[in-house]
Amino acid sequence: MKNYQNPSADAQYKQLLENTETFPVFYTYGEVAYHGFTPASLISEQKTQTGARETTVRHYQIDEALIATLTLTHSYDYGVTEWTVYFQNPSSENSKILTDVKTCLRFQGNDPVLKGILGDHVNQYRPYTISLSEMPAHFVSESGRATHINFPYFNLEHGTGGSMLAIGWAGTWTADFRFENGETVYTARSVNNLCTYLKPGEEIRTALFVCADYTVRNEHYATNYWRSWFISENLPKEDASGKPLSPFSTCCLASDTGLPNSDGSISERHTTWRPSLEKMISEDVKVDFRWFDAGWYTDPERKTVESDWWNTIGTWVLDPEKWPGESFRESTDFAREHGMRTLMWFEPERVTNPAALEKNFGYREEWGIRCNAIDRYETINREVVTNNIGDPECFAWTLKQVTNTLRRGKVEMYREDNNSNPGELWRYLDTVEGEGRTGITECRFIDAHYRLWDEIIACTLSYGGCGFVDSCASGGGRNDLESMRRGVPLLRSDSDRTTASLRLSMTTAFNRWIPFCGANTKEKEGEVAPTGRSDVYIWRASYLPSLNVDSQFVQDPDQDFDILRFGLSEWKKLRPYLLKDFYVLTP
């Protein structure tokens, strides 16, 4: 490992510990503006040390109805400081109003330049460079899918070095940069519209905020400093052994069934998987994970899903016509016996037909919240029924449905999709509550979602599965830093399934920030086209830590197994280098 230690950053961290009354957290409580935490309000402290990482947890009594908890961590190997603040009401009365919670940092140094990338979907990770001495910069995410449109990771060059900054929050967020009086001011917040009191026993939290100062004003240096820290101290572990996550390959079999397909899904049956897997074995083109995508479940009325996977979700119970008895477990057992594992698609934040779910699956209809929202392609309005996982009973029901199916099939990896924007739903539910509180629904949802992933990972680990999930949210919608401590994006974007040129462009942008990610191995006219073109160049443009093989093993009479063997073999030789230092060699 390169020496990225930064004594100056270590000293700044110690100053934060010693002078928490100037800690860069601001909030208004009961119409009084607060900056940091006064020593007089400190009621308890705990410190832990794990290797070169030191964590301090301090509890501050603001008044009888509000305790603020600061969790502050510093890495001495990298000079990276991170923090999260929790607010809890321990009393029997409502707290005062809490609002305008934000982080504000100031950076010295001339010629400040902000570099980064925009989000998925509309912007497809387009890079930007902004001279802050010429103009300020403003970024906001309101949709509830935190890394669509904008991207909460920033490289702020200033003086002779710079700072890498990140907001770890899977909901709404805002970041502003301005240069004034010789210093750059960075203001960031999560839960954009937070203005709420806390009821007795309630607790909410801010985002995970990260500041990583680097010492050499060079973009390659900054990129590899960040990637090294990310891989060492942020990337989830591979399995229960705690070993580092290593590159792997996947392949979806839905296009290799000979049956009608819908968006790369729907067509798999208990009769279709064996010919594909056996052909992969006989041709020596096995992958590490068999990818089991949407359409495997019964609909809320217990009917088989023939074509419309989007409008039939919510049960998370295997369709007994497509998968009678233990036939699905038979398929995962067969894969394991031949050195392959299984990943399985879910979408727990959306439901369909809540009345039928209540009648047939023990759901409660009021958990399904109806609200018009932009659909996954962000082109039309249509009604979306959001599953209210912020409700503890709904959370428990959803977790049970998902983990029962994972455990029954001994599925090693959980893949999560999210094909609607929950931001509108959160704001709608705030008004339905009718108590003048805004942002409280989002706080509940995001906290519940992180806990959902934690519980699902505990489930898969319990029988030898993965210590991480696939973070898909209609492409690259949920790649915030806090989520990346639990998940990896197997596909950076749905559009990564099209041209090799776009794929390479995304690699030059996205891989600077999130080293473990993947793309498709074919060039296709459309994202869901069943076939496409594959040659040596396209394969090499697709070599990433997650290699998502796109092939028809038995249904395509023209399948070129030589190119498949070549691509898989060469990628395996390159695997040891895919998480090393990263350089963009040409513009």
Tell me the per-residue pLDDT of 137-194, one tens digit each, with 9 for 90 and over: 999 999 999 999 999 999 999 999 999 999 999 999 999 999 999 999 999 999 999 9
pLDDT (mean) for 455-483: 96
pLDDT-derived band of residue 382, with 50, 70 and 90 as boundaries? low
Q: Is the pLDDT of residue 378 over 60?
A: no
- Decide yes or no: CATH 2.70.98.60 for domain 7-230: yes
pLDDT value, residue 370: 85
Flag whether the pTM goes above 0.75.
yes
**Contacts made by residues 395-402, CB under 8 angstroms, sequence distance 24+:** 395/448, 395/451, 395/452, 397/362, 397/363, 397/364, 397/367, 398/316, 398/348, 398/452, 399/452, 399/455, 399/456, 401/315, 401/316, 401/317, 401/361, 402/316, 402/346, 402/348, 402/456
Q: What is the DSSP letter of 43?
A: E
pLDDT value, residue 438: 98
* Average per-residue pLDDT for the chain: 95
pLDDT (mean) for 475-496: 95
Q: Is the pLDDT of residue 264 over 80?
A: no
Q: Is the pLDDT of residue 380 over 70?
A: no
pLDDT (mean) for 447-472: 98
> What share of the chain in percent tops pLDDT 90?
90
pLDDT value, residue 384: 81
What are the residue boundaries of the structural domains of the chain, listed by start? 7-230, 298-318+347-410+417-490
Give the pLDDT confidence of 106-146 residue by residue, as tens digits: 999 999 999 999 999 889 999 999 999 999 999 999 999 99
Cβ(480)–Cβ(170) below 8 Å: yes
Alpha-carbon dihedral sign for residues 288, 294, 296, 300: positive
**Torsional class of 493: left (φ above 0), alpha (ψ -120 to 50), beta (otherwise):** beta
pLDDT (mean) for 527-556: 92
**Torsional class of 32: left (φ above 0), alpha (ψ -120 to 50), beta (otherwise):** beta
Task: Flag the least confident range among 155-159, 306-310, 374-378.
Answer: 374-378
How wide is the angle at C-alpha 285 spanned by C-alphas 284 and 286, nearest 5°? 100
> Residue 177's beta-bridge partner residues?
137, 186
pLDDT value, residue 230: 98
pLDDT value, residue 140: 98
Report which of 256, 232, 257 is spatially closest to residue 245, judged by C-alpha positions. 232
Please give the structure tokens belonging to residue 127.
């890079």
Alpha-carbon dihedral sign for residues 327, 329, 332, 337: negative
> What share of the chain in percent tops pLDDT 70?
98
pLDDT (mean) for 487-494: 95
